[in-house]
Structure 1
Amino acid sequence: MSTFLAFIAKRSQDAAKTFATDVETAQSVKRRSVDVIRVNAALGMAAFKRMDGSGSVFTEDANGNWLLIAGTCIPASAKLRDPAFLLASALDDPYKLARELDGFFALLVGEAGPNPKLHVITDPNGSFHVYSRVVDSGVFVSSSSLVLAATRPVSIDPVAAQEFIATGVIYEERSLYSGVRKLPPATVHEYTQDSHRAKNYWSPFESRTERESMLESADRLWEALTAAAKSVTGIASSPICDLTGGYDSRILNAACKHAGMAFTTTVSGGPSTPDVLISRKLAQVLDVPHSYTPPVAQEPHSIDEAVRLGDGELDATEYACVYEVHKRHTSGFDFSFNGSYGEVARGYWWELLDRDPSVIRPLDIDRVADARFVGLTSSSGLFLKDNRIDLRSHFSGVLRRTLESQIDRSLASQMDMAYIRIRMQRWQGRIASATDQVRPCLSPLGLRRVLDVVLSIPPAHRRRSRVVRHMLDRHAHRVANVPLEHGYPAVPFKIRNGHRFAPLLGYYASRVAARVLPRRAGLGSGVQTGLANDRPGDIVAIPIFDEAALAKFFSNENGSRGDFGAMCRLRTIEGVHQILSRSSID
């Protein structure tokens, strides 16, 4: 179970009067059957089955209290794997319980009695997306912003829409819908019939940098990775692990193999692409079964499903292919692991730091905003003047607000926070939240026990993937020796193996060329989509857009259409508008 809808009524309201209709709305939007439902005068809760038929972790006691877990929750102790004990612990002290949990999840507790409460615990990274919406009769909480948008009349948030069209991601607490807000990471929420309290229970950015050698860092990282792999071994009977030609998936698979997990590796793409060829070799080295999925084309039905799975907050054209791959695997595999967050150990985005990453000074926020968030072409001109924002100053503001607590810390710490809290939470987390509606999924490298270690490693060791290469060389040497997708091995550079790093010259030359050569906008070659055409379509009915600007954007005026990515995101918003219109509430 990945989709849920919960509601706590105000004292003068009765949740039972309208909640059945709200559940029907959720079913219509998500096209999923109900797995469990509980409702009384104060509280309502409904959970829906995944596409693969799997359900939810649910329990209730004799007093009418209940517990629901969406996603994958990994308790710190064996006794907390008992749902009844978990419920009792949550009722006793939800904050204390939260500190004992890890994973990709939302945990909900309905507390009955004369003073009913709804407790919500979000996962440490905020990856499993949970949203709230305050209405006249009470407060909704759901794993779907689209479901919350469909429960009552709503409008598209113009700021979120501009973020999405420009970058494919929505940031901070915004959703695509005005009044629907994302709950923050690592937070315990308590909703009563007349109040709301929230308390943070963990931050990865309080880790103290250790004084240690490179080899000590490598060994400590390997220990954390294998411990994380062991903690998820056994949660599925037939898991499948992504495996490509890069660093992150190979360290995940090497750790899973070392932990004794039985799993199958998988890759998708063209048969002669580096990822496909290298993953096959790595699977042979690891001695594990390997599954290959050829490229899949987007079909209109899969694009529509992608809009619903991503709540309109994922580019439906891009995610449709991801969805099709996962759907094909549901018949043979019951869980999916991937290597997301592995890049944090390699100092991702640190190429924007032009000095020692351990230096304590404010990050150049405008530079990061320009390099990582401001699109090649501005989408603001597609909006009515009163709705337009300056994307550069806006994204600089997003960064500044996110980094307020880190300005007295190292450049490395600030960049890590920008990457984890801004990029990974809202981009990777949104993808994972969509995929978990198809079948269970998890990124073990993003578990607390891993991030606590990664962020305490000296920055000099993490830069340019050095600690990862040393770790693989020491603990998974055969895996490290298989060349990466760019042709050089995942081992430390030494004089005696310097010749093996010759492909780096070509790799960096191509990166330089990509920066200096002009980029061409347009539909590209080989792209198959049912979304792009030369008419604005139903999106002109959304009152935040400039109809004339949309018509020009979608036309072939001056020989080229607008940016293809922005075009597909506009079509995604159009898909949302159509879904909400059919619900008669847009």
Structure 2
Amino acid sequence: MRVHLAIAAKRPGVPLPPVALAAAQEAAGRVLPVPAADVTARAWRSAAGDTALLSWSNEPDGHGPPVLSSGAGRVAGLTGHLADPADVDRLLATDRPAETTAGTGGVFSIFRAGEGEVSAATGLTRACPVFYAETSDVHVLGSRALLVHLTARAAETGSSRPEIVWDLLALESMARAGYFLSDETPFREVGVLPPASEIVVADGRRTITVLPLPEAQAPPSSRRAARAHVDELAGALLAAVRPLRDGHEPVRLSLTGGRDSRLLAALLHKAEIPFVTATSGQDDSPDVLLAARVAEALGVPHKVARPKRAESGTDLVVPHPRVRSHNVLFACEGMISAYENIPAGGRFDPTPRMSGHGGEILRGGFLQNQAGLDVKALRRRVDGLFGRNDDLLTERAREHALALAAPWRERCREDGARALDHLYLAYRVGRWHAASRASLLRAQNPLPPFLDNLVVRTALRVDPVWRRSEALVHGVIVAFAPRLRDIPIEGRPWRFAAEGRHRTLLDRLRRRAEKPAPGGPPAGKPWNWRMNPSPELTRLLYAGLVDTRGELRAGGLAEIVDRAAVAWLPEARTDVLWHLYTISEMLTNAFSTPAPPDLPPLRIPVPPPGGVA
């Protein structure tokens, strides 16, 4: 993990407040989600002392470009990775950082500093986010929101260890959906840049520029036109992984029975990049069975990572929810729910890793699981994203959610399909995936081709409704690895095939009666312990939310959540209980110590038979 923090004084030539610099150094040792002993620090300050770029890394020497690079009168640090490390010189020299970043292969953000200026830019997905804040004296930009907040607060208060001030209303989407559907953060007056944007502070003044996303072309009207789209995306994907051909270790691919990780397997196979595969689950789960067939067809090793069980074999062993939430909060800074499976930290491992996360970009974003495409249906989807579980919210929190939804509802009037496509990129990738990715970067080397700037640019230029048909992804898989054509996929069949063959009501009824293809996945979804918790786990989750007097444990939670509404959450909304528990833990216990609480794990009875999610 590489962490960068750029600071600029609002009055040119006036040195930065020493307390802000001291607070940044102190906070970095306390809130970065990596072992302090593994971290090395770098720093640059201007001659006048009015700008600075501070950087920290737990990566071994020689992994990637230098933590701080210099050229063209500037220094720069990157988070994420470049497809071609030599591109750092262009990124240092450009006067248009957003345009250059969005047009450069890789998944990264860049932070720059020079005499009298600091700047930062995000890629097309903002999977590597840029956070920013300002006070009466300084501008602060950084790759970790809490570090930005504490540095700005130090400059504002004069304290080298200021208290956290929460943006409670911003947490309403965390309560409803388990991640942020906005450009806000849990920390007051700390925002996050949109995709394909830059923030430049020069002569004490801040300017934010947001580039328009690529325009989609008309849907292909012939097989030749469709093939051209397939070829263009295939070329962008191959370019994204080309540097891996010179790697010393095989790529570790997390392979499931679905579409996206299968495309990655086909890509690595076509690019002749050595790789091994692994699947999490029980031996009889659809993902394990189908992933094994894909690996066998491509002639690559495949392993199964089975969930940890007690010695009896009948119970699943899981961390105590406070331990689980501590890990999620420290890694993801309160921007994703403890419902999600977030890996624990550790020593940095430079082995390249891939998974299918983000592949929905190639299938139309939120359109990929959207049934109807008429204007009303698309607008209902937007309303659902911003109104989901809003019955739990206070009136102020509901009004906040409606205000966030308003511009997207307006965009639905113009082009609903494109709105849902871009909404997915902005929030599901730019907030949910970015938060999840932060947990990976602290100890791993994730290389996601689907989030590569040039791959995303290529995908966005393809009509989103045609991408939704999945003909594009299927075409690339078959082009890369024809032998995968006849291996079934987990869940529903390819959309272009299903919707093309089953257009009438009678056809749909016949399809429901069809038996699964030989060797296909078993029916039904695997059992999910997070949605079916044991009585003990349910009790602990409620106890973390409500005290013995029946009051919300975190007082600030009452500003966004209606206490009466959360008195009883039905089993169908156990995920919301996890979301609320995460917020409650954050407001009461988070970031006080890097060490997780010393609490024993829980045992969850596993119902036979079935897999575990």
CA distance 1:275–1:575, shift in 2 (3 Å): same
| Contact 2:2–2:67 (8 Å) recurs in 1 | no
Match of 1:86 in 2: 90
CA distance 1:415–1:423, shift in 2 (3 Å): same
| Contact 1:481–1:491 (8 Å) recurs in 2 | no
Q: Give the partner amino acid of 1:176.
A: P
Match of 1:245 in 2: 257
Separation of aligned partners in 2, 1:404 and 1:200: 19
CA distance 1:473–1:55, shift in 2 (3 Å): closer
Match of 1:47 in 2: 55
| Contact 2:417–2:464 (8 Å) recurs in 1 | yes
Between 449-458 and 125-134, the greater mean CA deviation after superposition: 449-458
Match of 1:503 in 2: 516
Report the alpha carbon displacement of residue 293 of structure 1 after superposing the two structures with TM. Answer: 2.1
Residue 428 of structure 2 corresponds to residue 427 of structure 1: no
Matches within 5 A, 1:95-110: 97-110=100-113
Report the alpha carbon displacement of residue 68 of structure 1 after superposing the two structures with TM. Answer: 0.7
Match of 1:232 in 2: 241
| Contact 2:545–2:584 (8 Å) recurs in 1 | no
Aligned equivalent of 1:354, options 369, 372, 376 = 372
Residue 284 of structure 2 corresponds to residue 263 of structure 1: no
Question: 1:98-120 CA deviation, whole Å, 9 max, x = no partner?
Answer: 353233211111112xxx10021
Residue 49 of structure 2 corresponds to residue 36 of structure 1: no
Separation of aligned partners in 2, 1:530 and 1:133: 39
Separation of aligned partners in 1, 2:66 and 2:574: 41
Report the alpha carbon displacement of residue 491 of structure 1 after superposing the two structures with TM. Answer: 9.0
Separation of aligned partners in 2, 1:400 and 1:559: 28
Separation of aligned partners in 1, 2:530 and 2:109: 40
Separation of aligned partners in 2, 1:122 and 1:62: 20
Question: 1:371-425 CA deviation, whole Å, 9 max, x = no partner?
Answer: 33433463315xxx6xx322xx65454343246567434x322221222223222
Aligned equivalent of 1:308, options 306, 313, 330 = 330
| Contact 2:168–2:559 (8 Å) recurs in 1 | no
- TM-score, length of structure 1 as denominator length: 0.79
Aligned equivalent of 2:24, options 22, 25, 30 = 22
SS in 2 for 1:36: strand
CA distance 1:103–1:399, shift in 2 (3 Å): farther
Between 451-460 and 140-149, the greater mean CA deviation after superposition: 451-460
Match of 1:71 in 2: 80
Report the alpha carbon displacement of residue 14 of structure 1 after superposing the two structures with TM. Answer: 2.6
Separation of aligned partners in 2, 1:526 and 1:466: 45
Report the alpha carbon displacement of residue 457 of structure 1 after superposing the two structures with TM. Answer: 3.6
Percent identity over paired residues? 20
SS in 1 for 2:485: helix
Between 129-138 and 228-237, the greater mean CA deviation after superposition: 228-237
Matches within 5 A, 1:399-478: 399-402=405-408, 407-409=413-415, 411-458=416-463, 461-473=466-478, 475-478=480-483
Question: 1:5-32 CA deviation, whole Å, 9 max, x = no partner?
Answer: 2211222753261213312112201144
Report the alpha carbon displacement of residue 263 of structure 1 after superposing the two structures with TM. Answer: 2.0
| Contact 2:105–2:240 (8 Å) recurs in 1 | no
SS in 1 for 2:253: strand
Match of 2:183 in 1: 173
| Contact 1:170–1:176 (8 Å) recurs in 2 | no
SS in 2 for 1:478: helix
Separation of aligned partners in 2, 1:63 and 1:427: 35
Report the alpha carbon displacement of residue 178 of structure 1 after superposing the two structures with TM. Answer: 1.5
Give ranges in structure 2 of 5+ residues lacking alignment.
154-162, 309-317, 502-510, 595-613
Report the alpha carbon displacement of residue 264 of structure 1 after superposing the two structures with TM. Answer: 2.0
Give ranges in structure 1 of 5+ residues lacking alignment.
357-361, 512-519
Separation of aligned partners in 2, 1:188 and 1:559: 42
Separation of aligned partners in 2, 1:335 and 1:536: 39
CA distance 1:99–1:460, shift in 2 (3 Å): closer
Separation of aligned partners in 1, 2:18 and 2:560: 44
Question: 1:260-312 CA deviation, whole Å, 9 max, x = no partner?
Answer: 22222222123321112211221111222334322253355454222111001
CA distance 1:233–1:195, shift in 2 (3 Å): same
Number of aligned positions between the proteins:
544
Match of 2:505 in 1: none
| Contact 2:194–2:426 (8 Å) recurs in 1 | no
Aligned equivalent of 1:213, options 222, 244, 259 = 222
Question: 1:223-278 CA deviation, whole Å, 9 max, x = no partner?
Answer: 42343233323255433222111111111221121112222222212332111221
| Contact 2:256–2:291 (8 Å) recurs in 1 | yes
CA distance 1:27–1:222, shift in 2 (3 Å): farther
CA distance 1:222–1:425, shift in 2 (3 Å): same
Separation of aligned partners in 2, 1:13 and 1:6: 16
Match of 1:359 in 2: none
| Contact 1:99–1:201 (8 Å) recurs in 2 | no
Separation of aligned partners in 2, 1:215 and 1:492: 19
Separation of aligned partners in 2, 1:254 and 1:145: 37
Separation of aligned partners in 1, 2:495 and 2:487: 7
| Contact 2:234–2:476 (8 Å) recurs in 1 | no
Residue 340 of structure 2 corresponds to residue 334 of structure 1: no
Separation of aligned partners in 1, 2:557 and 2:189: 19
| Contact 1:209–1:455 (8 Å) recurs in 2 | no
CA distance 1:485–1:432, shift in 2 (3 Å): same
Question: 1:34-76 CA deviation, whole Å, 9 max, x = no partner?
Answer: 342223511222222247886763345489731111111335x
- TM-score, length of structure 2 as denominator length: 0.76
Match of 2:590 in 1: 579
Residue 379 of structure 2 corresponds to residue 369 of structure 1: no
Q: Give the partner amino acid of 1:335.
A: P
Report the alpha carbon displacement of residue 426 of structure 1 after superposing the two structures with TM. Answer: 1.6
| Contact 2:5–2:55 (8 Å) recurs in 1 | yes
Between 340-349 and 271-280, the greater mean CA deviation after superposition: 340-349
